[in-house]
Structure 1
Amino acid sequence: MTEQQDRAREDVVIEAISDQDAGEVLTVQRAAFVSEAAIYGSVDMPPLTQTLPELEAELRSESGFVARIDGRLVGAIRFVERDDLLLIGRIAIAPDMQGEGIGRMLLQAAEDASSAPVAELFTGSLSEANLRLYRACGYEEHERVPDGDGTEQVFLRKRLEA
């Protein structure tokens, strides 16, 4: 870990997501997923097309955390528990903060907040950085679902109970 990553981790405050965070979350989400759009050659993906009212409704029905540094929202994670599964939704990290350990911190916070025995998340098959992060955090590939364009959605799971 670099000195910058250590410093970033010390400055990061993880707190429960709230309705008041919606605008900032949407801004970070859009910025974070621009690189995904470039990988897949399409901006027609839900993280980029989601509207503020849609996100506000999502925040009312799901749990989540935000990461802040000096008051600035630099990351967010959303999740819900269903049928003994912690379903992790969008993880979005501000582009200038990616690779600083914030995604790991948010994943850990979601896992710690859950009573589910298993966590599941997914990403696209071309999203190599995401796959590396999830595998490094203990997630293992569970299933691949073809998208019809030559790519796949990769579902990964992690046991949370010993």
Structure 2
Amino acid sequence: MSVIERAKPGDAGEILTVQRAAYVSEAQLYGDPFIPPLVESVEQVGKVVRAGVVLVAREGERVVGAVRGRMSGATCLVGRLVVAPDLQGRGIGGALLAALHDEMVSALAFDLFTGHQSEGNLRLYRRYGYRETHRERMSDHLTLIHMRRQL
């Protein structure tokens, strides 16, 4: 069973490891090995942990998932929801998302985006009340689907 808590600055390396492992499949899906989650540095992750809201899921000492939230007005911008590939499909991503919803008490809405071919992500987000707001064509291979959960 995972325990979800606020990330500590010392978690940055483990968060980045899980993030890179989780985003490899996305990079393969879209044919782009240079997507931002794969080229982010441990220093950048550490800065986000120190400055913002980053939740991690732990199993024992191991970080097995993470999610970021940042307020923009009354909207929480959700980013980098990741789960270790060997533990995907066990509810950790949903638990992280629900915990972020609970943590960001002042948010009136939650916004996020994912790639148009990321069916598992789209199913998860819909299950947690997110609805498509618009699409943004980034390249021949990638269209971002923007979604919102309105409270």
| TM-score, scaled relative to structure 2 | 0.95
Counterpart residue number, 1:133: 124
User: Does the residue aligned with 2:34 lie in a helix, a strand or coil?
Assistant: coil
1:45-84 equivalent positions in 2, closer than 5 A: 45-84=35-74
Counterpart residue number, 1:7: none
Counterpart residue number, 1:157: 148
Offset of 1:61 from its aligned partner?
2.2
Counterpart residue number, 1:22: 12
Structure 1: state its 5+ residue gaps.
1-10
Q: Is 2:95 the counterpart of 1:109?
A: no
Bigger CA drift: 72-81 or 149-158? Answer: 149-158
User: Does the residue aligned with 1:43 lie in a helix, a strand or coil?
Assistant: coil
User: Does the residue aligned with 1:55 lie in a helix, a strand or coil?
Assistant: helix
Identity %: 45
| TM-score, scaled relative to structure 1 | 0.89
User: Does the residue aligned with 1:68 lie in a helix, a strand or coil?
Assistant: strand
Aligned length: 150
The Cα offsets for residues 65-110 of structure 1, whole Å up to 9 and x where unpaired, read as 1001122110000111111001101111000111100000000011
Offset of 1:150 from its aligned partner?
4.1
Counterpart residue number, 1:42: 32
Distance 1:30 1:108 in 2: 22
Q: Which has the larger radius of gyration?
A: 1
What amino acid is the match of 1:86?
Answer: C
